[in-house]
Amino acid sequence: MVRHANSVTMLPDAPDYPLRLTIDSAALVANWSALDRLSGSAAAAAAVKSDAYGLGARRVVPLLRDAGCQTFYVAHWAEAAELLDLVPAGHLAALHGPLDARDAAFAKASGVKPVINSPHQARLWLDAGGGACDLMVDTGMNRIGISMGELGDPLIAGLEIDTLHSHLASADAQSPLNEVQRGRWLDARGQVPHRRAALANSAGIALGADYHGDITRPGLALYGGVPAAGLAEHIRQVAIPQARLIQRRSLQAGDTVGYNATFTAQGPLEIGVVSLGYADGYLRCWSGLGAMHADGAALPVLGRVSMDMTAIDLTAAPHLGEGDWVSAEYSLPEAAAISGMSQYELLTSLGRRFQR
């Protein structure tokens, strides 16, 4: 039943968007297993913030949990609330910590661990009754976390710290800052009692055992990103954006395509218009650079990407008709090299119109 402005009408179910994000569950689990193995004696957790980097946290978390992952990280408390029925109490943590008494009360009641980032957050947590929490120490990134000089604060001393964290600023590069941060992390470990310690994100795992601690926090690599060359052979593509063909068109020599006529046909050409554009996260950086695929054939992007549409060359797929599906060329490391975008942005910018 659909209610119009002046009436109620019986209609069939609303059609789906002509977009889907195919998620390879086996590849996701294989990536976590590889990262867990590469973490050595440390256990690999999973960063599932930003709706599991856009793939759908409620789909991702059970797959990783059933594969053996025991610890999950989100950024915001609202993200944690959406996963309470999927993760046992004490195995989910909110990285941004409590911003007010309401956040702290929710953490206490739900069993979601707060990651304490300042003496103020420590006070909020202790005032709420305290208990097990994590602590983030800033060792050189200057983002969030207590400073090295605050390690001796009485409020920090009053915490029951499960995992002592820090975060590497340049794990994806051969930077001397990595060793500086590791040294400060070890210093912090010596000053503050804690049960476990964590430093490495996806790229940090590739830096080796000295960076692993007791728990690693992979994110991007779980979902098919390769932030360090040492991970390339272990990581499989997880997400494939797909869209339907809206229309076929026949061009003649001299015909142009799209805004500002940036592509001109040199002769007769069959093109397709695909229901995918920058509003869906298929950004203008793909104009004239990207490609779609169908049945093994590469279909180059022609002209500028529009908000909801992209034109492609159908020369290699003459059998495609309106309503057929094509897949975007979107292996994250290769896509980043072609587009100039970061792998993180390419993944998390994929929009809500995709069926996942």
Question: What are phi and psi for residue 170, nearest 5 degrees?
Answer: -135, 40
In contact, 299 and 254? CB cutoff 8 Å? no
Spatial distance between the Cα atoms of 306 and 287, rounded to a whole number of angstroms? 9
DSSP state of 86: T
Closest C-alpha among 338, 334, 316 to residue 326: 316
259 as an active site residue: the answer is yes
Beta bridge partners of 288: none
Catalytic residue among 49, 53, 211, 282: 49
CA–CA dist 127, 52 (Å, integer): 31
Question: Quick one: 319 exposed, middle or buried, by C-beta within 10 A (0-12, 13-18, 19+)?
Answer: exposed
Q: Out of 17, 259, 330, 344, which one is annotated catalytic?
A: 259
Task: Tell me the longest C-alpha to C-alpha distance in the chain.
Answer: 76
DSSP per-residue codes, 134-145? EEEB-SS--SSS
State the DSSP string of 208-254: -GGGTTTEE---GGGGT---SGGGGGG----EEEEEEEEEEEEE-TT
Q: Is-catalytic flag, 113?
A: no
Residues with a known catalytic role:
49, 259
